[in-house]
Copies of this chain bind each other. A is one copy, B any other.
């Protein structure tokens, strides 16, 4: 038989709550955990002091309380209430419903009604209710021994809690200072504060760096950043502000101080990566695109489809490499086989990286053994993967679901019209994102033109594959009109500057596309690009843009075509996130906490990794940031968090 032990802390809070509102109905929830046969009630969260029904506000309060409890590694274990009239000790129907809701999650839930007659006596003033077996009716607990006496299943952790409660109220008026959820809702200035503080599980103090928009790099020195139990950012503000001070005064979790030579930065987004090609990263780069696809890409993809164990090894390693490189979200091309793509999705979910996984669709191929047998079977297979991928994460709470399926026609030359049409419809029906390659190489563009008498972009557009949910890789051969169409359709570009050198042999008109408003992020294009590191993509994007700008200058044209390192950092973080429809990539309340901690120096004159400093440094200046951008590497990355969860990166300091 289960017994119940009530801590002094919990008893005092219930007592104060009732004492503060003697003529109003008050209620709240009990927090604790079950240890063997004892339910230990450690704390309470006071909710309301005027209620008649199960209001939306009570629902919100319950939800927040549940989150808070979980963050503290406790559960909601019960409910308490006091009635309007002190002599009314009935558990109200609303209370019964709340208690029952709690019981759905915690089978040994209990409810207490405050016994007004005993409030001033020094005896325990709580009347326990338990549910009747096999019903949802709650009744006072009638047992041999009265509650809170020897032999009872209800015990006070400290026997003198009732006397102490009376003294604290009478002699010290402590109940006056006691607030509940209602109080805060009445006080509009602090209500959001309460909503927030109740759920905060992680707090940082130090320098934050992010790029909220193109051309804007903010170094937020000495800031507070709070993360809630679901991994969302609750609050960002200067440590010295009134709001920050109030938060810090109310939360009782340890604050993580970011040292002066380190900063938090949003994680990187990689908008284009062929997961199976990681198998042969950095080889075969001497061939032109179509030949390379045949000799390297298709072959390796097929081998992974045929060997699930190999697929798993490659995908797990890929996920680890991405994590270590600070990539928090990645848009992936997979293979044609559903199973292998589910292995890919699972690897990303397990390591903890946000991944948009595209099962490849292709019913035309130069490799007879690596092609889908018909448009119909390809579409069916795509649908099967979408369902399978969603299934894979259905058991997680929504905010913990890190992978999602993406419709992925490989590129126009490998897809029949029938297939493209079917995929367009499937994308609409299932509400999923779309990715493909667009105008990557001269030979591919010419191929499409000669086969279909149309440009890539028209083919995609015809079949509703150019939408606000689309990301197209490369786009190097798009002219200004076509880029305007991309902007008009809100389709994004995955800019892969390194791969462009090899397989487009042409720079992407990045500045023009940005100026037209095309959403753009960076991609590594493993293995068309050999580097998995988005920092490399950033550096390459700037270098290429500067050469383009040099040509522009010599020709005397007006507007700069260059981007600088800050622009590149935007593309790598917020730009990429926006293109993927994700709300990460920036430090603001409501965004998921997807971040990396970058360490530039430990001692003020000694850099970390490739960085050298010969003069004492102070804080995070634009100068040291630029240096890191230029030559920093994995060795500077000490932590990474996705949706508030910390992942162990390779160069993480040892945890305490």
Q: Using a CB–CB distance below 8 Å, which chain A residues touch chain B? A: 278-279, 281-286, 310, 313-314, 317, 321, 442, 498, 500-502, 504-507, 530-532, 540, 542-544, 546-547, 549-551, 553-554, 564-565, 612, 614, 623, 626-631, 633
Contacts and interface: CB of A to CB of B under 8 A. Distances in A.
B626 A285 contact: yes
A501 B546 contact: yes
Given A281-B627, A282-B628, A282-B629, 13 more contacts: A278-B612, A282-B626, A282-B631, A283-B623, A283-B630, A313-B614, A501-B543, A502-B543, A505-B546, A505-B553, A506-B550, A507-B547, A530-B627
Given A282-B631, A442-B554, A631-B530, A547 B626 contact: no
B626 A550 contact: no
A554 B477 CA distance: 12
A564 B501 CA distance: 12
Nearest to A504: B550
A630 B277 CA distance: 15
Given A531-B630, A543-B501, A550 B281 contact: no
Contacts of A614: 279, 310, 313-314, 317
Stoichiometry, copies per complex? 2
A553 B442 contact: yes
B317 A506 contact: no
A286 B550 contact: no
Interface of A is mostly: helix
21 contacts: A279-B614, A281-B612, A281-B631, A282-B626, A282-B629, A282-B631, A284-B623, A285-B626, A286-B564, A286-B565, A310-B614, A317-B612, A321-B612, A442-B550, A442-B553, A505-B550, A506-B550, A506-B551, A531-B631, A532-B631, A544-B547
Nearest to A633: B633
Contacts of A501: 542-544, 546-547
Contacts of A498: 543
A461 B188 CA distance: 80
A547 B631 contact: no
A18 B400 CA distance: 88
Contacts of A283: 623, 626-627, 630
A630 B623 CA distance: 29
Contacts of A500: 547
Contacts of A633: 633
A627 B531 CA distance: 10
A282 B550 contact: no
A129 to B, nearest CB: 60
A550 B501 CA distance: 8
A313 B616 CA distance: 13
Contacts of A544: 501, 547
Which 8 pairs of residues, A with B, have the shortest CB-CB distance? Answer: A505-B550, A282-B630, A530-B630, A501-B543, A282-B627, A506-B550, A501-B546, A282-B631
A631 B543 CA distance: 19
Contacts of A502: 543, 546
A623 B614 CA distance: 40
Contacts of A313: 614
A549 B505 contact: yes
